[in-house]
Structure 1
Amino acid sequence: MAENIESWAKELPIAYQRRSLGENLRREALWVTGLSAAALYILAQWGAQFGYWQYVVLASWYVALLLGGMAWRPLQWTVLATALPALAAVWLYAHGQTPANDWLLRYVLQGVAAVLWMSAFLLFATLAYLVHAWTGQAAIGRWATRLTWAGVIFGFIGLGVRWRETYLGHPSWGHIPVSNLWEVFVLFCASTSLFYLYYESKAENRSLGAFVMPLVAAAVGFLLWLTLVQHMDQIEPLIPALQSFWMKLHVPMMFVGYANFTVASLIGLAYLLGNWSTRHGGALAARLPSPEQMDEVMYRAIALGFLFFTVATILGAVWAARAWGGFWSWDPKETWALIVWLNYAGYLHARVVKGWRGNSMAWWSFLSLWVVSFCFLGVNLFLSGLHSYGKL
């Protein structure tokens, strides 16, 4: 176990150590070729209908997936495991199949069905992580990771198929499925679980799942309530303000920020409880990564989340100027987004410039969860404004 952050970085597996661009391209030639072929196919099929910004959206997704897959190889298999079933569902719809007459669509690949599978897998994964943290049994931990991967894959399958399904009711309704609370909670559950798996692999410790995944399970419970009680899984046309290509960039990037902030907050909780366990002779500390590792993972998650949250906020301001005539209106959602941004800017300043470490930063990370949660959900539920379309 490393004794400081710098030595821990040297102990990371080779897959996480810095490589040159040429080495990355050689190692990931299949990924680069496949992703490039997919982008060229999209251009050949629909490029004639693209405006300038559609090229920007495609290029942004291409670069993000390319770099993400090169930095973390499991992402490549996730994209493949998501895309192939989603495309199979699109093919079934294109050939006249519906959930009413095709069992595969009805029970597995339909957007809502896939989300229900995601929910089941993530709930079982949460239970497995808790048992693993309590017993320390490695086999249960491995199953917890596998169940989480299954949940992530089914979540993104559900979103991909739902994107196609938005066009089925009426072609003018078609939109990326991030337009209401139900859809963004699916995105939140899948993306938070995916980023947790990334940081789990970096820390090489599965006991962190006992802290992160219960919140994902709570989000799954809320999602099931939205589905079974509020029936928010129904596809509806977009309001005019949301009928914009900006949604394809702004919302996914915002949720990369939310996911990383959430993971960092709960690793902060693990850090605090691990220290408490050390002082009181408990067994928890022995099952968690070292404090230095958890501090570093918190920092990296917040730094990545802050980058994406900053870009998403800027894009949101540009979108607001086009939709409402001004870059900033002090709408409650905008105000709370600024509060979140200032909070994490303060964290990064304290850590990078002032050199703060340890309990104080773990408390900062953990308590920030409440700020992020209110920005993400509380504003939609309790405040009104230009973003009121997110209400129940």
Structure 2
Amino acid sequence: MSVPHDLMDGLERPSLIRGLSLFDWLWAALVLASAVGVYVEFNAALGMYQQAILAGATAALIGVGWYWKPMRALSLVIAGLSLFAILLYGNQYSAGESNFILVWWLSSPAAIAWMNGLFLTATVAYVLGLAVRGDALSERSLALGSWLTWAAVTMGFVALMVRWRESYLIAPDFGHIPVSNLFDVFVLFCVVTGLLYLYYETRYRQRALGALALLIISAAVAFLIYYAVAYHADKIEPLVPALKSYWMKIHVPANFIGYGSFAFSAMVGVAYLLRDRAERLHPDGRVVRRLPSLEMLDDIMYRYIALGFAFFTLATILGALWAAQAWGGYWSWDPKETWALIVWLNYAAWLHMRFSKGWRGRPLAVWSFVGLIVTTFCFLGVNIFLSGLHSYGKL
């Protein structure tokens, strides 16, 4: 098991621009050219704010591709498969019921089914990789889990891209970004959390945490399957009036980067508690050999909570601006808003105790897992048990 000597290895680089290669600039040119193509094709339908979102997304994709090289290949594969599916659809939504490739592979229902199966299989591979005795067999199983996770994330993003196009094929006034209901955002949660885990895996060159990270994704997949089967929630529905806004394109993704980061940090906290116990009871056991060190786990947990807190703060500010436009006020103490504030205060206190009081280790690991319970209620429980202005995904 390869462990970086420096916990900051690959995470902080003093001069990104000076270190850019020819391929980095070619990547930037490709993304920029694609954005210009989108602008030229859809300029008539893009208002000032949508143009700003397109520009921001372009800059973000270029920057992420520079900073994390695997994002380039992933983006190109997602774009290629999505465009291929869109070409197969043409202008007929019914093609999704007759074209063999769409029916079995690239329509949004098919791609989501592939995503679900791949995530569940990856979870099994990661768990076996952590549990089996032989180190060689363990590495092969963990590597398989990694490849399956990459494939699952790819199919999930393809599903979202194709579902976006499908909504316009049903009817032009149906068309919207697929982050508007509980089914859509569960798909988004799965792929965002999977991508955040894969970033950790490639940067720290560690795969053992996949056994825990994929468990939380598999729980989301299980709910997604149940929700689709029991409530036919996978159908594309028109937007309610309050959601017909450009704010949805930035508020919801920012929110789910926060949710995904908090979920992964909670699983890192669980890994910390498992390793801490194993070091005391079985210092030469498989858990100690395969999980990262306590110092590294503590550092990863902090980094992902800090990332999640930053994006959740941004999402909360964007949500307040959206609320002012949609409902005439920045804050209304709606149950979703109240619980979002509770989540924000929980992680603000977590970070405060780490910075100002020097807390480390077990207390913060336990707190991180408790934070996941609070966040889950905000994400899902409010929709099930409470009602309010944000009740777009009730069971």
> TM-score range with shorter-chain normalisation?
over 0.9
Quote the residue 1:320 is aligned against. Answer: 323
1:335 aligns with 2:338: yes
Quote the residue 1:151 is aligned against. Answer: 152
1:300 aligns with 2:288: no
Which digits, 9 at most, give the CA deviation of each residue in 1:316-345, with x for residues without a partner? Answer: 101111111100000010011111111111
Q: Secondary structure at the match of 1:8?
A: coil
Q: Distance in 2 between matches of 1:121 and 1:355?
A: 40
Quote the residue 2:291 is aligned against. Answer: 288
Q: Distance in 2 between matches of 1:69 and 1:351?
A: 31
Q: Distance in 2 between matches of 1:221 and 1:21?
A: 43
Query: Relative to structure 1, is the Cα distance of residues 129 and 2 closer, same or farther in structure 2, using a 3 angstrom cutoff?
Result: closer
Conservation of the 8 A alpha-carbon contact between 2:2 and 2:206 = no
Which digits, 9 at most, give the CA deviation of each residue in 1:152-196, with x for residues without a partner? Answer: 000000000000001112110100001111111111111111111
Q: Distance in 1 between matches of 2:7 and 2:2?
A: 9
**Distance apart, 1:16 and its partner CA:** 6.1
Q: Distance in 1 between matches of 2:97 and 2:181?
A: 25
Conservation of the 8 A alpha-carbon contact between 2:16 and 2:67 = no
Which digits, 9 at most, give the CA deviation of each residue in 1:225-272, with x for residues without a partner? Answer: 112221101111110011111100000110000001100011000001
1:364 aligns with 2:361: no
**Normalising by structure 1, what TM-score?**
0.95
Q: Distance in 1 between matches of 2:208 and 2:6?
A: 18
Conservation of the 8 A alpha-carbon contact between 2:179 and 2:188 = yes
Which digits, 9 at most, give the CA deviation of each residue in 1:63-115, with x for residues without a partner? Answer: 22122111111111111111111111111112647022210011101001000
Unmatched segments (≥5 aa) in structure 1: none
1:64 aligns with 2:94: no
Quote the residue 2:98 is aligned against. Answer: 101
Quote the residue 2:140 is aligned against. Answer: 139
Unmatched segments (≥5 aa) in structure 2: none
The Cα RMSD (Å) is: 1.8
Q: How does 1:179-190 map to 2 (within 5 A)?
A: 179-190=180-191
Q: Distance in 1 between matches of 2:353 and 2:6?
A: 21
Which digits, 9 at most, give the CA deviation of each residue in 1:199-246, with x for residues without a partner? Answer: 122332211111111111111111111122211011111100111111
Deviates more, 1:200-209 or 1:177-186: 200-209
**Distance apart, 1:2 and its partner CA:** 11
Q: How does 1:54-93 map to 2 (within 5 A)?
A: 54-93=50-89
Quote the residue 1:29 is aligned against. Answer: 25
Quote the residue 1:9 is aligned against. Answer: 7
Quote the residue 1:114 is aligned against. Answer: 111
Conservation of the 8 A alpha-carbon contact between 2:2 and 2:205 = no
- AA paired with 1:370? I
Q: Distance in 2 between matches of 1:377 and 1:223?
A: 12
1:270 aligns with 2:268: no
Quote the residue 2:230 is aligned against. Answer: 229
Q: Distance in 1 between matches of 2:206 and 2:318?
A: 36
Runs ≥4 residues deviating over 4 A = none
Which digits, 9 at most, give the CA deviation of each residue in 1:35-86, with x for residues without a partner? Answer: 1111111111122432221122112211221221111111111111111111
- AA paired with 1:275? D
**Distance apart, 1:314 and its partner CA:** 0.5
Query: Relative to structure 1, is the Cα distance of residues 155 and 140 closer, same or farther in structure 2, using a 3 angstrom cutoff?
Result: same
**Distance apart, 1:357 and its partner CA:** 1.3
**Distance apart, 1:24 and its partner CA:** 3.0
Q: How does 1:162-173 map to 2 (within 5 A)?
A: 162-173=163-174
Deviates more, 1:135-144 or 1:311-320: 135-144
1:347 aligns with 2:350: yes
**Distance apart, 1:289 and its partner CA:** 0.5
Matched length = 388
- AA paired with 1:168? L
